[in-house]
Structure 1
Amino acid sequence: MTDQELFNLLALLKVDGVGDIMGKKLLNSFGDASAIFKAKNSQLAGVDGIGSVLLKNLKDKSVFEKADKELSFIKKNNIEVSFFQDENYPERLKHCFDAPILIFTAGNLNFKNKKIISIVGTRQITSYGTDFCKNLIEDLAPLDPVIVSGFAYGVDIVAHQAAMDFNLQTVGVLAHGLNQIYPRTHKKYMARMEENGGFITEFWSDSNPDKEKFVRRNRIVAGMAEATIVIESADKGGSLITANMANDYNRDVFAVPGRVTDKYSQGCNNLIKTQKANVLTSAADLIYMLNWDIKENPKTIQKQLFVELGTEEQKIYDFLQKNGKELLDIIAIECDIPIFKLSGILIGMELKGVIRPLPGKLFESI
């Protein structure tokens, strides 16, 4: 995209009444932003949804001054800009009807990875949520997924930090422009984030982190990912909005169950109870439901001649060697290991290359 094309798109997006949906209608009708500004009122009026007020606003010349100022900021700060039809625009986000026409990015981002998951939840994360989040990302690390979150307090920053600890690309979706960071205390994580990942926003440099912008931010979090995971949430909160958006986009949603008496498990339990989310008890659940093949990724730990197995791992391996492929429930009963614990052990054994999952929750030794 040339500077002139970007300038015209910025000007279009500053027209009062032109949002992402109307902007796409106009671009589909006229081809590019320059043609929209040159079009006659009679031509513009033919676009569905355009009335007299918007016709007047499209002739407002002040939008060009605002576009020029933002373009200067973009160039001065080496910000990458992606148009919704560009190759470097997140592929899944392209298919969301209300996706941003432009996104601004900073860092070292690569959206070619097909395994992109969003992790969201309460800002008041508990030790239960923290441990689950860290363990989940550690177990998924050999599959090299991209971890997306909102860079907020609580679940968000725990997910980002865990991703960085295991050398995974992580993306913070912001509810403000790239001229600032919110919350300010998270500024200390920015450099490390940008080494292998970075930040995305649809908001301009004059945008502050107002409450309504966080809701708009959430649709990017949900839309760009294959699945959205809710770690912990009260019965109301932004993470539940993100989960609903993911459902609207026909994405998979997972929620971590908790005790019915725990405040920050109520939202997750309700998502599961109302069948708006799958139960997530371990990385194995996610891998199975998303049909991720552990053998696809070169970072996967391959089977070695001599693999060290723990006591329970050896018991499972010996059982499968003797009996062949078996159901998860049967393995749990015969090896006397609770299913909630067994799932985590099995994913560890998959990573060691000594067993493999089969359709229908079957497992066999290799």
Structure 2
Amino acid sequence: MTENELHYLLALQKVDRVGDIIAKKLLNHCGSAEGIFKAKTTQLAAIDGIGKVLLKRLANPDIFSQAEKELRFIRDNNITVSFFREESYPEGLKHCTDSPILLFTSGNINLKQKRIISIVGTRQVTPYGMDFCRKLIADLAPLDPVIVSGFAYGVDILAHQSAMENNLQTIGVLAHGLNQIYPKSHKKYKPQMEGNGGFMTDFWSTSHPDRENFIKRNRIVAGISEATIVIESADKGGSLITANMANDYNRDVFAVPGRTSDKYSQGCNNLIKTQRAHLLTSAADLVYMLNWDMEKKEKQIQKQLFVTLEPEEQLVFDFLQKNGKEQMDLMAVHCGLPVFKLSSLLLNMELKGIIRPLPGKMFEII
């Protein structure tokens, strides 16, 4: 991504009522942010959902002066920017329709070939939750996962601290720009965080930690990771919103059970009771459900010499061989097959000993 294209992307973000979904629609139609602003009005008007009001807002020159100021902040503060079409953009978020078109990061983040989990929970974490969180991360440390959370009080900061104590990479997803730290009392953790990972946000330096921003940032916490773990939660709270988002993204959700009389176990118990989360009692549960124990072994790919595959089966096999394990709905999209057809193909391939099913409607080659 060139600096010129980044300038246009930032300007696009400042167009009133253009969120990530509409922005992606415009980008897919015009090819680039610069192409959007240089396109003819008749061309843009032909796009579904683009009306006269939005066309007028795209012509507002003020958005470019605001974009220039933010671009200067990015340059002056060594901020890394990832565009959703680039290889550097987190793979998990690429499959979320409402993921940010731009991510701003600071620190030393490296997500290539990494297991990523999000840990969330109440700000009023109890000794029970503290002990569980610390032990969980320590037990997972040999598998070198990246620990993601929201850098808030309670479970969030405890997860970050525990990750750093075990020399694991950790990422704080912020509900504001990278020019500040909220809560201010957590500023003391910034140097170590940036040494062991860093911070990520889709908010500009002009944004403040407003209430609605915390809900918006939760989609990054849920979407970036392979699984979301809820340590403790009351019957209502931000961590439950994150868990619901993770379910919407077809990600695994885990919840730590507690006594029915404990206020900060009610949310977790309800997630488990309503089958919106797997029960989590130890790191071993997570490793088993995510199939991480199998990933430690070398994959033995079935030799095609002894198996006859139909053309569509070969298409699925080639896709899985190239991409590794994948979720069935996403496989259907990439292979251009209806879900009902793909489901039948996967069953036949499983019976032939070519693939195996995994938790979360995932499949991989044996």
Name stretches of at least 5 consecutive residues in structure 1 with no aligned partner: 299-358, 360-366
Distance 2:155 2:161 in 1: 10
Compute the displacement of 1:8 (Å).
0.6
Distance 1:110 1:297 in 2: 23
Offset from partner CA, 1:115-150 (integer Å, 9 cap, x none): 100000000000000000000000000000000000
For residues 33-112 of structure 1, the aligned pairs below 5 Å read 33-112=33-112
Indicate yes or no: 2:203 matched with 1:219. no
Compute the displacement of 1:295 (Å).
6.9
Compute the displacement of 1:35 (Å).
1.1
Distance 1:27 1:36 in 2: 7
2:252 paired residue number:
252
Give the RMSD, CA atoms, in angstroms.
1.5
Distance 1:5 1:37 in 2: 11
Name stretches of at least 5 consecutive residues in structure 2 with no aligned partner: 299-357, 359-366
Could you state the TM-score of these two structures normalised by the residue count of structure 1? 0.80
Paired amino acid for 2:209: P
Distance 2:78 2:4 in 1: 16
Paired amino acid for 1:177: G
Compute the displacement of 1:200 (Å).
0.2
Compute the displacement of 1:196 (Å).
1.6
Q: SS state of the match for residue 117, structure 2? A: strand
Compute the displacement of 1:280 (Å).
0.1
1:27 paired residue number:
27
- Runs of 4+, deviation exceeding 2 Å: 293-298
- Aligned pair in 2 of structure 1 residues 160, 294: CA closer, same or farther (>3 Å)? farther
Contact 1:83/1:102, CA 8 A, preserved across alignment: yes
Paired amino acid for 1:149: S
Indicate yes or no: 2:118 matched with 1:128. no
Compute the displacement of 1:296 (Å).
2.5
Q: SS state of the match for residue 292, structure 2? A: coil
Paired amino acid for 1:71: L
How many residue pairs get aligned? The number is: 300
Indicate yes or no: 2:296 matched with 1:293. no
Distance 2:133 2:243 in 1: 17
Offset from partner CA, 1:328-348 (integer Å, 9 cap, x none): xxxxxxxxxxxxxxxxxxxxx
Distance 2:260 2:241 in 1: 21
* Rg larger for: 1
1:138 paired residue number:
138
Compute the displacement of 1:297 (Å).
8.8
Identity level (%): 73
Distance 2:297 2:62 in 1: 51
1:331 paired residue number:
none
For residues 319-334 of structure 1, the aligned pairs below 5 Å read none
Indicate yes or no: 2:196 matched with 1:193. no
Contact 1:41/1:55, CA 8 A, preserved across alignment: yes
Distance 2:252 2:214 in 1: 21
Paired amino acid for 2:85: Q
Paired amino acid for 1:69: K
Q: SS state of the match for residue 178, structure 2? A: coil
Distance 1:140 1:91 in 2: 22
Paired amino acid for 1:15: V
Offset from partner CA, 1:195-215 (integer Å, 9 cap, x none): 120000000000000000000
For residues 271-350 of structure 1, the aligned pairs below 5 Å read 271-293=271-293, 296=296
Compute the displacement of 1:293 (Å).
2.3
Could you state the TM-score of these two structures normalised by the residue count of structure 2? 0.80
Paired amino acid for 1:296: K
Distance 2:70 2:201 in 1: 14
Compute the displacement of 1:159 (Å).
0.3
Paired amino acid for 1:261: S
Q: SS state of the match for residue 200, structure 1? A: strand
